[in-house]
């Protein structure tokens, strides 16, 4: 019995989600270990490069991304992209048991809203045209509209890296993940071009000699390296259960926007489809806001934590609490009973 291309893409997408969801946890554990003997990734350190567990997580992510890459070759994005939500569920379950990270009720609601909104967007997203050659993709990529999108994306990324990251990177999760998502939208375009080149080459129509093929390879490498760098910073700084859904939402949204601009798939849609997409975007934004508010509530609650120690005697009696980050000591005198 012959297995259809869509079925192959579906299986590969599920495998990809399992690997990617697990990689978040493995990399987080590696970052924690590396922070014990070197500068944290969130502060610009690269001690994690010496941590084997981080490399296991990186290898797991590469396997997942490879499976996802092949899935896009066999199946349309409208089938593959929604299954990325599985990686969020896997990551959240593993972080509960392995990282002891918890989400408040509002945070859980935010996760659900993000996933539901993203699924709605993807379901109603326009079908993508499958190019027949790398040259055809190059023509689409050099359209004025997509060139403008690419220029705007690079300008925003540079502004985030040079201005916003030094000021807000450690307190606002959207800074790191915006960089990852914007670069990710360009990655997907390049990955599609590379996938088409590989598929046509295997079918006997070689695309290796075309300079456009190697240009897309170079763009993909640069974008992927940038994504991984800032994703490491996000994982090291913020709760994994928050990074996964927000990254998924933003990455999916930017990918659909970039694809729509490049492949001109937005034309000819019905009003009901457009309304559904808008509802999906609103749901996504609401979920993202809930997650961010939950994060701010947790940070404020942690910062406001003070331990009071009332003791009768001298300062020596406080040695057992000297490692506490926040405590106020009241030394009793003869006036305190």
* Whether residues 22 and 120 fall in one domain: yes
Q: If you search the block for the tokens 């972080």, which residue do you land on?
A: 95
Tell me the C-alpha distance between 53 and 327, whole Å: 35
Does residue 331 sit in the same domain as residue 222?
A: no
What's the total number of domains in the chain? Answer: 2
Same domain, 320 and 290: no
The answer to whether 159 touches 179, Cβ cutoff 8 Å, is no
Are 193 and 134 in contact, with CB atoms under 8 Å apart? yes
Residue whose pair of structure tokens reads 């220029």 in the numeric block: 151
327-336 contacts at long range (C-beta below 8 A, 24 or more positions apart): 336/312
Q: At what angle do helices 173-202 and 134-141 cross, to 10 degrees?
A: 150
Range of the domain at 49: 5-304
Ramachandran region of residue 100, left (φ > 0), alpha (ψ -120 to 50) or beta? left
What is the chain's pLDDT, residue by residue, as a tens digit (337 residues)?
677 777 787 788 889 988 998 998 888 888 888 877 766 766 667 777 888 888 999 999 899 988 988 887 777 666 677 777 777 777 777 777 787 777 677 777 877 887 887 778 777 766 656 677 888 889 989 999 999 999 999 999 999 999 999 999 888 989 999 999 999 999 988 888 888 888 888 888 888 888 999 999 999 999 999 998 998 899 888 877 678 778 877 887 888 788 778 877 667 778 888 788 778 878 877 776 676 666 555 555 554 444 455 555 554 554 454 444 444 544 444 444 4
- Do 104 and 62 fall within a single domain? yes
Is 81 in contact with 280 (CB distance < 8 Å)?
no
The reported pLDDT for the residue numbered 323 is 47
- Cα separation, 32 vs 54, in Å, equals 9
Statement to judge: residues 263 and 331 lie in one domain: no
pLDDT of residue 33: 84
Inter-CA distances, 49 with 19, 30, 34, 65, 105, Å: 20, 9, 8, 20, 35
State whether 210 and 244 are in the same domain.
Answer: yes
Whether 333 and 218 map to the same domain: the answer is no
| Strand-pair partners of 331 | 311
User: In degrees, to the nearest 5, what angle opens at C-alpha 97 toward C-alphas 233 and 289?
Assistant: 50
Question: Token pair of 286, please?
Answer: 């609401």
pLDDT of residue 214: 92
DSSP 183-213: HHHHHHHHHHHHHHHHHHHHTT---TT-HHH
Cα–Cα distance measured from residue 14 to residue 115, given in angstroms and rounded to the nearest whole number: 16
Residue pair 232/224 in contact (Cβ under 8 Å)? The answer is no
213 and 160 fall within a common domain:
yes
Secondary structure element (H or E) that encloses residue 336, with its range: none
**Residue 65: CA count within 13 A, CB half-sphere:** 18
d(CA 277, CA 287): 15
Q: Are 247 and 231 in contact (CB under 8 A)?
A: yes
pTM of the model: 0.66
323 and 202 in a common domain: no
What's CA 116's distance to the chain center, in Å?
Answer: 17
> Is residue 309 helix, strand or coil?
strand
If asked whether residues 185 and 314 sit together in one domain, one would say: no
Q: Are residues 64 and 145 in the same domain?
A: yes
Are 283 and 320 within one domain? no
């Amino acid at each position: 019995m012959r297995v259809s291309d869509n079925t192959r893409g579906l299986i590969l997408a599920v495998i990809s989600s399992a690997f990617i969801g697990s990689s978040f946890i493995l990399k987080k554990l590696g970052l924690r270990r590396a922070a014990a003997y070197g500068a944290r990734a969130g502060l610009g350190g690269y001690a994690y490069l010496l941590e084997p567990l981080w490399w296991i997580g990186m290898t797991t992510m590469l396997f997942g991304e490879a499976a996802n890459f092949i899935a896009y070759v066999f199946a349309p994005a409208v089938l593959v992209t929604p299954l990325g939500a599985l990686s969020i569920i896997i990551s959240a379950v593993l972080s509960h048991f392995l990282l002891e990270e918890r989400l408040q009720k509002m945070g859980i609601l935010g996760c659900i809203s993000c996933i539901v909104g993203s699924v709605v967007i993807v379901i109603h997203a326009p079908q993508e045209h499958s190019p027949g050659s790398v040259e055809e993709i190059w023509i689409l990529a050099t359209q004025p509209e997509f060139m403008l999108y690419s220029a705007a994306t690079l300008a925003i990324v540079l502004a985030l890296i040079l201005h916003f990251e030094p000021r807000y990177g450690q307190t606002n999760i959207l800074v790191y993940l915006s960089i990852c998502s914007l670069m990710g939208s360009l990655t997907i375009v390049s990955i599609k071009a590379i996938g088409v080149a590989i598929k046509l080459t295997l079918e006997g129509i070689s695309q290796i000699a075309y300079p456009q093929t190697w240009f897309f390879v170079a763009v993909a490498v640069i974008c992927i390296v940038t994504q991984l760098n800032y994703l490491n910073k996000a994982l090291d700084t913020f709760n994994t259960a928050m990074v996964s859904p927000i990254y998924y939402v933003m990455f999916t949204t930017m990918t659909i926007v970039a694809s729509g601009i490049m492949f001109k798939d937005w034309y000819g849609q019905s009003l009901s489809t457009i309304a559904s997409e808008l509802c999906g975007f609103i749901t996504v934004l609401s979920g993202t806001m809930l997650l961010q508010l939950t994060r701010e509530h947790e940070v404020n609650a942690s910062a406001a934590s003070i331990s009071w120690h009332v003791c009768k005697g001298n300062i020596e009696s406080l040695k057992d609490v000297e490692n506490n980050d926040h405590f106020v000591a009241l030394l009793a005198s003869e006036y305190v009973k």
